Amino acid sequence: MTQAQSQLYRPARPGREFRATALGQPVPSVATEMRARRQVPLGSSEPEDRQALSHGTVPQAPRYLPGLDGLRAVAVAAVVAYHLGELPGGFLGVDVFFVISGFLITRLLLAEHERTGRIAIGAFWGRRFRRLLPALLVLLVAVALASRAELPGWRLTEIRNDAFGALAYVANWRFVLSGESYFTKGVGPSPLRHTWSLAIEEQFYLLWPLVVAGVLAMARRAARLSVGAVALAVGVGSAVWMAVVSGQGHDLSRIYYGTDTRVFALCGGAWLASWWDPAAAAASRPARRRHRERWALAGTMAVVRLGMLAVFAVTDHAAFY
């Protein structure tokens, strides 16, 4: 092999992105091509995805929103104050959690679809279970040990059934069927009563990705708006159904525990995620300050409104719901 031939077939050195052919025309080096192939997302076979990769325009994963942690802290404080008897409407903090969950989950699903062209539902479910199940198991073991040591035998059967309901993520319906009142502060509440909200969220995590994936598969254009329209329709339907159930004279706990009467809050967050992308809204530098000030004002007003509802809530009147 001559010196010229050895130069022709020599691998590109680090930093050299092109190699020469026998005709003297530069083409991408083998290393460059391999790196480009490794960067293509799994499950993405569209040519525009590869073109977007070459121009650096692939949608990024959703960024962390620190402001939501502050909103969570306010919600936690409200719920704790309610259970201490200091804030009559503090239970409204649960609705804040539902809205945040609906927003974050829908935001993740939409971002994954924009990034890869599909939604890996099995992987999503796996991440949710790995995130929630270990803590739930620790709670159930702790409650089982404490109940066996402190409670009479007749209560253990009830708590065992509550534990099965919590583990299957149907605790809310378990409490509806057993007549467990959320608003009773007397003797004998279930030590697992608070798992009702986790059950509703997990039911949402199981069903909502299927709905989003189906809507995105059918709506080639205006996909985000289509998801938002479905979320809005389900949310409005849930709110109307809550009014119907409350008018039928059902116990307030049936309204409070029911997935059908509480999913409107989760759908409200999903609807918000369908049309508001915080990262995109703040991308323009000239408008960034105005954007932050506008949403800071809206967030402050929302927190103040929540505080007023929590203080002046009338929990024994169905119209409040």
Instruction: Give the mean pLDDT of 4-16.
Output: 47
Position 98 scores a pLDDT of 92
- List for the chain the helix, strand, coil content (%; round to 5): 70, 0, 25
> Can you give the pTM of this predicted structure?
0.71
**Half-sphere exposure at residue 244, Cβ-oriented, CA atoms within 13 angstroms:** 8
Percent of the chain's residues with pLDDT above 90: 38
Least confident of 50-54, 57-61, 154-158, 293-297: 50-54
The runs of H, that is alpha helices, within 192-284 are 195-218, 223-247, 252-257, 259-275, 278-281
Any residues with CB less than 8 A from the CB of 258 and at least 6 apart, and which? 172, 173, 176, 245
Checking if the pLDDT of 135 tops 90, the result is yes
Q: Which two tokens stand for residue 119?
A: 């939604």
What's the pLDDT score for residue 175? 93
Quote the tokens at residue 7.
Answer: 């130069």
What's the token pair of residue 306?
A: 């929540």
Helix (H) or strand (E) holding 108: helix 93-116
Q: What are phi and psi of 26, to 5 degrees?
A: -75, 135
The residue-averaged pLDDT of 123-135 equals 94
